[in-house]
Amino acid sequence: MNTLVAVSIAPIASQEELAPQIAEVIRVIRSSHLPNQTYSMFTEIEGPWDEVMAIVKEATQVLTDRGIRTIVNVKADVRPGHSGTMKRKVEKVNRILNEESAK
């Protein structure tokens, strides 16, 4: 069952710079070899439900295993029978915008 998630995994209650901790989380996601894209507030991951959720869990544990309180926000689009939706959704919107600007 194909799943596209937007996930934010963030440490809280820390006086430290957060970028190094977030980089550790992203490193786990990228090592999964599932399609993914990181933005300023969320990272999108696409693949089978169980694989995506296992990566979310593993990435979260990078912080929690060190005793760091962590907030995880997940937004999921579960679409059986479809794949490549992360790329295709953006392409559709860009095509519409390009057609409108060409008029």
14, pLDDT greater than 70: no
Q: What is the pLDDT of residue 74?
A: 98
pTM of the model: 0.87
Beta strands in 31-87 (DSSP E): 36-38, 43-48, 70-78
34, pLDDT greater than 70: yes
Higher local confidence (pLDDT), 29 or 12: 29
Q: What is the pLDDT of residue 23?
A: 96
Mean pLDDT over the full length of the chain: 93
Q: Over the stretch 46-76, which tens digit does the pLDDT of each residue have?
A: 999 999 999 999 999 999 999 999 999 999 9
Q: What is the pLDDT of residue 102?
A: 86
- C-alpha distances in angstroms, 92 versus 15, 55, 59? 42, 27, 30
Question: Can you read off the two tokens belonging to residue 90?
Answer: 């953006």
Mean of pLDDT values over 17-43? 95
Mean of pLDDT values over 24-41? 97
Domains of the chain, each with CATH number or no CATH: 2-102 (3.30.70.930)
